[in-house]
Amino acid sequence: MLELLPLLLFIIVCLFLMTGYPVALTLAGVSLLFAAIGQLAGVFDTAFITLIPNRIFGVLVNQNLFAVPLFVFMGTMLEKSRIAEDLLKNMELVFGRLPGGLGIAVILVGMLLAASTGIVGATVVTMGILSLPTMLKAGYRPSLACGTLCATGTLGQIIPPSICLVLLGEVISNAYQQSQLNAGVFAPDFVSIGDLFAGAIMPGLLLVVAYACYVLIVATVRPMDAPSVEDMAADISSSELAAALFKGLLPPVLLMVAVLGSILLGVATPTEAASVGAVGAMLLALSRGKLDWKIMHEVCLDTTRITSMIYLILIGATIFSSIFRGFGGEELIENLLTGLPGGVVSATIIVMLLIFLLGFILDFIEITFMVVPLVGPVLLGMGLDPIWLGVMIAINLQTSFLTPPFGFSLFYLRSVAPSEVVTSDLYRGVIPFVGLQLLLLLLLAFQPGLAAWLPSILNQ
């Protein structure tokens, strides 16, 4: 019975989270309570408590995690300065006359906004406010409009440089080193956040293309569901359309390329590249006359709030993982996964299913910090490629956040959708996009080179 205490700790933490208690306080509070009970019962070594301050200090001085507030600042600046709104309007002019063009424009803008923020809720809410009324007014079927927006909002999980990949890259890197140390390799290889960025590019772009193709096919087969919006660009010349494309798309794309390219080419660390992105977003807003002290205050306030939340959750997860290991949880998980029939395949499927289900009740930050450090070393010790595993987890979480009836993305869009949009429209609309993401997961499972190819090229 005592060997099951780590699982009991994990289950009770999840139950408390489902009741709505703050994540960071739940992780820390329940874990410390279990440690106290375990100490009184003589089944917990208090040495694991004494390690916690040093581990927390290591989190606070981690150079890679300094990229988080800078990336948050960049995304918030693009959102608050209404650059995303201008980008959407210009993309609507360019693509509006094509079949499904408005939907394709929303996907492209959502991809850029998702990459810059990496926060699913922020992207879905922003795109819902900006795009949903326009799509409904243009005659789009509500389910298609809602599905497109929900799916586009979750792209922040997989399109670099997103906060999700920064955090997941740090955790996967630590798990990979831990798995090698467990195997007796005391000069371990390592993977960087830039490696995970490179691994996510191809799957992310495939997903964007798949979304756009689906909207285009729907618009071709059932034009009444996704009509072209000819009046948007009826009186605009080709040169004006080119100018709209240049003005709307080029600056944000150049900013993303500068940030991501400097990381992939090894010119800058993720933290240095994030600082370039933050300054670039400010200059972009300033050049368009969109920056003033009020916007700067709002951006700084939101950046502080989001960053504080992330660090608090990380501290709570550090306390949880320390106490979980103190109860022998690491050995328990290793025995459970390695003892499954089917070996690494069965273990991977079980972990992916667990992460998918937890995505219904936990945000990606909690899952990244709470679950991945526990199962990552075991799976990587069984021979999985760390970059492939990181990309699979990111897409898996993205699928979970989109799946009815509990997907976070659905709740976020529901909160800003007009009253004429019913919940069933949301559920029907996202099902094809969930199918596309599941197909991508299967494709990656059978063709892991899709995630491993670009990192291997860049590391030569």
| DSSP letter (8 states) at residue 3 | G
pLDDT of residue 244: 67
Q: Over 60: is that where the pLDDT of 231 sits?
A: no
Work out the angle between the directed axes of helices 293-326 and 67-80 (0-180°, nearest 10).
Answer: 140
At 211, the pLDDT band (50, 70, 90 cuts) reads very high
Residue 155, domain extent: 66-292+320-458
Q: Is residue 59 part of a domain?
A: no
Q: Over 60: is that where the pLDDT of 235 sits?
A: no
pLDDT of residue 425: 86
Q: What is the mean pLDDT of residues 202-212?
A: 93
pLDDT of residue 119: 65
Q: Is residue 446 part of a domain?
A: yes
Residues with Cβ within 8 Å of residue 192, at least 6 apart in sequence: 169, 173
Residues with Cβ within 8 Å of residue 296, at least 6 apart in sequence: none
Could you tell me if 62 and 80 are in contact, meaning their C-beta atoms sit under 8 angstroms apart? no
Q: Over 80: is that where the pLDDT of 250 sits?
A: no
Tell whether the torsion through CA atoms of 353, 357, 358 and 364 is positive or negative. Answer: positive
Q: Is residue 22 part of a domain?
A: no
78 to 83, 106, 376: CA distances (angstroms): 5, 16, 34
The C-alpha atoms of residue 84 and residue 93 are separated, in whole angstroms, by 14
Q: What is the pTM of this model?
A: 0.86
Taking only the tens place, the pLDDT of each residue in 47-97 is: 888 888 888 898 888 888 888 888 888 888 877 887 777 777 777 777 767
Domain count across the chain: 1
Residues with Cβ within 8 Å of residue 238, at least 6 apart in sequence: none
Q: Is residue 134 part of a domain?
A: yes
At 237, the pLDDT band (50, 70, 90 cuts) reads low
Q: Is residue 288 part of a domain?
A: yes
Could you tell me where the DSSP H helices lie in 19-97?
A: 23-41, 47-50, 52-60, 67-80, 83-95
pLDDT of residue 43: 80
Q: What is the mean pLDDT of residues 381-390?
A: 90
Of the candidate ranges 25-34, 72-81, 319-328, the one whose mean pLDDT is the lowest: 72-81
Q: Is residue 60 part of a domain?
A: no
Neighbours of 149 (CB within 10 A): 31
Taking only the tens place, the pLDDT of each residue in 114-146 is: 766 666 666 787 778 878 888 888 888 999 999
Q: Is residue 8 part of a domain?
A: no
State percent of the chain over pLDDT 90: 15
Q: Is residue 370 part of a domain?
A: yes
